[in-house]
Structure 1
Amino acid sequence: MLKILLTTTLLFISTIAFAQKEFEKSLDSVQTLDDVTLFFKKHKKAKGKVIVFNEEKHKTQMAQDIFKMSVGAKKYFKDAPQKTYYKVIEKYEIPYYKVSCVFLDGQKKSIEDINTIRQTVISKYGKGYRFEDLAKQYSMDMSAKQGGDLGWFTNGDLHPDFESAVIDGAYNVDDIFTLDIPDIKAYYVVLITEDKKLIEEAKVLKVTEPRK
């Protein structure tokens, strides 16, 4: 009886080990985003998704480890409740931009009032007032709390007209200008705060090995 139990246990362990190797082998074959789709079709019980790490926005130890990995490399973190792999599918650099702004709401103020405020902001900035303080005083959206700082953004993050004005405009750091987007009644004073910057991103497949 004991011999049978030992044989059954060893067979069970061997089956689990084989399944784990097959799972890892299948994961190793994933090279593209299309492969990710095929992987989840094959391993329906596996939980996971593709996530994007941004070198400027993500400063955790995990993110630092990810950016040290080459494309195709994978690793797992032993402290996770289940064995969770992170596999780098793509790494690339894309241009990012950084501005601060004063937003004025055309639904709440007339265009005359808006232009008066914008002239005041530009005049005070020219006299040495900090743009951060001006944004906190005049801006009419949540960015006022950050002194108008919108953070790093890239093409597709903001309204197309706003992006076009910043990306296609021949502006330098500390240049200040006005921007109108009448279709959404949005009016701005925009300050360029940083030069265009290439920031590395990584598309990573995060997948948890299913429990046996």
Structure 2
Amino acid sequence: MKNALLLLYLFSSLSIFAQEADKDIKNIVNIEDAELYIEKSTSKRNKLMAFNEEKHKSTLAQTLLAMPIGTTKTVPSQFKKTVYKIIEKSNEPHYRISYIYFDESKVDISAIYNMRKTILYKYENDVPFEDLANRYSMDDNALRGGDSGWFKDNEMPIEIENEAANLQHSVGDIYTVSVEKDRGYYIILKTHRIKTIKEVYVLKIEENL
């Protein structure tokens, strides 16, 4: 009898806890709410995630991108369930370029100017830009041929973003940009047209069963 009462108490407690958790999730309506929920959460597995229709091609990502704001998707497994809540959606212009980066704090400015001249000369004589980036660039993306991947406003130095958004540049144009703040010098190749890309911000919550 005592065991039965104990089990009943445990099931009741779990049910109440689950109802409270569902109520908390329903009250999350924006990014600030989601960040506060994560901050107060005892689990480090809860997090805010962003899915982008260009970068994320999984079935889950495509499902989340298609869902309306405020809706949730629950994915159960043997020992836990994962809840994804759609917090925010956006449809913003993105840019994509390839670039070669020089850091003036590590290389003398005169050497940078000489390398820029050499690179531009080689490019004009049909040396592929990705080969030049791989050889000369001081950025981590040198091994990717200088490809920036898709980026949006406030993700790159403003000088680069302004040029990336400049409609006078056509795909295939090459130009130089200097960024005084980080003493950076860039050779940039416009590789893609400006593209509007759908993104979704999702709160991921994991609960043990």
> Which TM-score band applies after superposition, normalised by the shorter structure?
0.7 to 0.9
In the alignment, is the contact (CA less than 8 A) between 1:75 and 1:85 conserved in 2?
yes
In structure 1, what is the equivalent of residue 138 of structure 2? 140
Quick check: 1:45–1:210 contact (8 Å CA) kept in 2?
A: no
- Structure 1 residue 69 corresponds to structure 2 residue 63: no
Q: Which has the larger radius of gyration?
A: 1
Where do residues 1-212 of structure 1 align in structure 2 (5 Å cutoff)?
Answer: 2=1, 4-36=2-34, 45=42, 48-79=46-77, 81-168=79-166, 170-209=168-207
Deviations 1:50-86 (A, max 9, x none): 2222222223333223213221111222126322211
Q: Which letter maps to 1:62?
A: L
Partner-residue secondary structure (3-state), 2:89: strand
Gaps of 5+ in 1: none
Q: Distance in 1 between matches of 2:154 and 2:19?
A: 40
Q: Which moved more, 1:146-155 or 1:14-23?
A: 14-23
Aligned mates of 2:180, 2:16 — CA distance in 1 = 63
CA distance in structure 2 between the partners assigned to 1:44 and 1:183 by the alignment: 38
Amino acid at match of 2:203: L
SS of 1:77's partner is: strand
For the residues of structure 2 that align with 1:59 and 1:44, how far apart are their CA atoms? Answer: 29
31-40 or 105-114: which moved more? 31-40
Distance 1:129 1:18 in 2: 67
User: What is the number of residues matched between the two proteins?
Assistant: 208
Asked if structure 2 preserves the Cα contact closer than 8 Å seen for 1:71 and 1:89, the reply is yes
Change (3 A) 1:105 1:11: closer
Deviation at 1:193, TM superposition (A): 0.5
- What value does the CA root-mean-square deviation take over the aligned residues? 2.7
Q: Distance in 2 between matches of 1:140 and 1:173?
A: 24
> Structure 1 35/109 Cα, relative in aligned 2: closer, same or farther at 3 Å?
closer
TM-score norm. by structure 1 comes to: 0.82
On the 8 A contact 1:98/1:152 being kept in 2, the answer is yes
Q: Which amino acid aligns with 1:114?
A: I
The amino acid that maps onto 1:116 is: N
The percentage of aligned residue pairs carrying the same residue is 34
Rounded to whole Å, the distance in 1 between the matches of 2:53 and 2:141 is: 23
CA 46–106 in structure 1, closer or farther in 2 if over 3 Å, else same: closer
Stretch moving more, 49-58 or 106-115 = 106-115
